Structure 1
Amino acid sequence: MKIGIITEERDWITCSLERVLIKRDITPIYIKPSKIVSFTGMDIKFKCNNENLLKLNCAFVRDLGDGTDYYRFDALKYLGEVMPLINPAEGLENAGNKYKTSMILDKNNIPHPKTIITEDLDKALMWSEKFKDCVVKPIFGNRGKGIIRLGNKPIINKINLLKEFKKKYGLFYIQEFIRNPNNVYRDIRAFVIGDKVVSAMYRTSNNWLTNIHQQGTGKPCEITPEIEELAIKAKDSMGLIYGGVDLMESKDGLKVIEVNGAPSWETLSKVSNVNVTEKLIDFVLNNVKDRYY
């Protein structure tokens, strides 16, 4: 049995997948997206380093890299038509585009912060004032990169920040800032596989950016029925097999901040007694072909 790991760069996650696959007597095949060759009008369809990708049983999708326009993602979509991908391209697209994520959450009545998406600087400024406190995020991106908080800054400062943001990203994705009722800076990362939250952690910080890559710290979090129900619903709405769902505590209950279709679980593994990699691989081996394809 052969299972692919699609990634431009190897990291803790890909190495963990490799170790557990070998432990299960499965051959891991690394696939660099930049090395994939596609064929049309021929018997063969996809190759990477002389490996016929259609001979793989399935493949984990971890990192497509920067890509060349849309080729890598288009190739992934077509590859997903002939073999199981973990996660499917459509799910990755839904979770990777914050606008699509918000629209899907809204359509499914899943609690999330009030959000405004606009290209208009004047409208962005107006809503930043109406919200009183808000964050502005790039519509594509992760690890907390590029996010700014406007808070109660003077108007001229907001204008300058929004102008710089517009110049760099072109589109404003503005979310009402959710204050934690416990007066702490933290959110919750719930890790969902199939129809179960297998582990969860608080991400805490001494400032409003709680992402682990922004100096946040992971701490164990009890999986409550509210966390379980909301995280599974959010993951399923995106069309994902597994995912990392970020939740924020508020005076009105939990709200979904983001859904990640290629989440890391390195920090989660350090604060949890659950082997997430083994849980994920075992679920894929037992369920993916029958339930998702």
Structure 2
Amino acid sequence: MKMGIISEEKDWVVNELKKSMEKNGIKPEIIKPSNIISGIGMGFKLKCNDKNLLDLDCAFVRNIGNEVEMFHRFDFLKYLEHYIPLINPLDGIENAGNKYRCSFLMDLKNIPQPRTVVTENIDEALKWVNAFEDCVVKPLFGHQGKGIMRINGGSLISKLNKLTEFKKKYGAFYIQEFVKNPNNVYRDIRAFVVGDEVVSAMYRVSDNWITNIHQNAKPEECEVNDEIEELAIKAKDALGLVYAGVDLIESRDGLKVLEVNATPSWEGLSKISKVNIADRIIEEVVNLLKR
């Protein structure tokens, strides 16, 4: 069996997947998207370093880059997906990567989330920032906590200036009510779902309101209870994913889903997890290929 790992960078996750494949007798092929070549009517469809990508049993999508080149690289993978399974499926990656689409797909499944407003209009944005009193404004497309800002006070002029600068940079506003943790701490929960199981979870604890590991939050053990299990699996399924990192926030009304990551890292989680997550992912995918 041969599995591809599609990534511009050989990061920690790529190495973990590679090690797990080798341990399970699977030949890994590292595929750099910038080295993919596609031919139409040329006797080949998609290859990388002279290797035919259609010969793979499946391929993991890790990182195709962030610049303008990512658009045709994504189309390369759309073409490839007609011939081999991609993990995660591209529709699922698109669903998770667009915060608004992620939100409405979960809403259709009645999955609890913080109250959210999406608009391009600055007057509407200002109206809802005032209505929420304490909120987080996020780009529709983004990751690792980059570009987000919290607005919880200040003059109308100050709020308007912040929103104007945000609009110039990102075009649209994804405004989410800030949920205060009932334990009076800055933390959220990252639940890692593989198939129909939450294989591991952690609290991400910070000394400020941004609780992302890439923004210096610390991982702490979190017991997987029924509420975490049910919500995280529902969110993963709503987006059409094989595995996912689901971010949950504690509230007085129970857990709410903040975001779903379709290409999650588990480097921080691995420091406290009792499970080898890469092994579980590979096991799940091998079982899927046998069905």
Asked whether the equivalents of residues 84 and 289 of structure 1 are also in contact (C-alpha less than 8 Å), the reply is no
Aligned-partner Cα distance in 2 for 1:152–1:227 = 32
Offset at 1:189? 0.3
Question: Structure 1 residue 164 and structure 2 residue 172: aligned?
Answer: no
Q: What residue is the counterpart of 1:36 in the other structure?
A: 36
Offset at 1:146? 0.3
Q: Which moved more, 1:149-158 or 1:8-17?
A: 149-158
Consecutive aligned runs of 4 or more in structure 1 exceeding 6 Å deviation: none
Aligned-partner Cα distance in 2 for 1:30–1:201 = 29
Q: Which moved more, 1:18-27 or 1:215-224?
A: 18-27
Task: Report the AA paired with residue 16 of structure 1.
Answer: E
Q: What residue is the counterpart of 1:17 in the other structure?
A: 17
Offset at 1:196? 0.4
Q: What residue is the counterpart of 2:222 in the other structure?
A: 221
Which structure 2 residues correspond to residues 1-150 of structure 1 after superposition, within 5 A?
1-66=1-66, 67-68=68-69, 70-150=71-151
Q: Provide the TM-score with structure 2 as the length reference.
A: 0.97
Q: Determine helix, strand or coil for the equivalent of 1:249.
A: strand
Aligned-partner Cα distance in 2 for 1:287–1:27 = 17
Q: Provide, for residues 15-49 of structure 1, a one-character-per-residue CA deviation record: whole Å limited to 9, x for no partner.
A: 11111111122211111111111122244211011
Aligned-partner Cα distance in 1 for 2:215–2:267 = 15
Aligned-partner Cα distance in 2 for 1:69–1:273 = 35
Aligned-partner Cα distance in 1 for 2:20–2:189 = 26
Q: Which moved more, 1:22-31 or 1:241-250?
A: 22-31
Identity across aligned pairs (percent)? Answer: 60
Q: Determine helix, strand or coil for the equivalent of 1:70.
A: helix
Offset at 1:217? 0.6
Task: Report the AA paired with residue 122 of structure 2.
Answer: L
Aligned-partner Cα distance in 1 for 2:260–2:57 = 26
In structure 1, list runs of 5 or more residues that go unmatched: none
Offset at 1:286? 1.6
Aligned length: 290
Q: Quickly say closer, same or farther: Cα 1:214–1:280, change in 2 above 3 A.
A: same
Q: Determine helix, strand or coil for the equivalent of 2:9.
A: coil
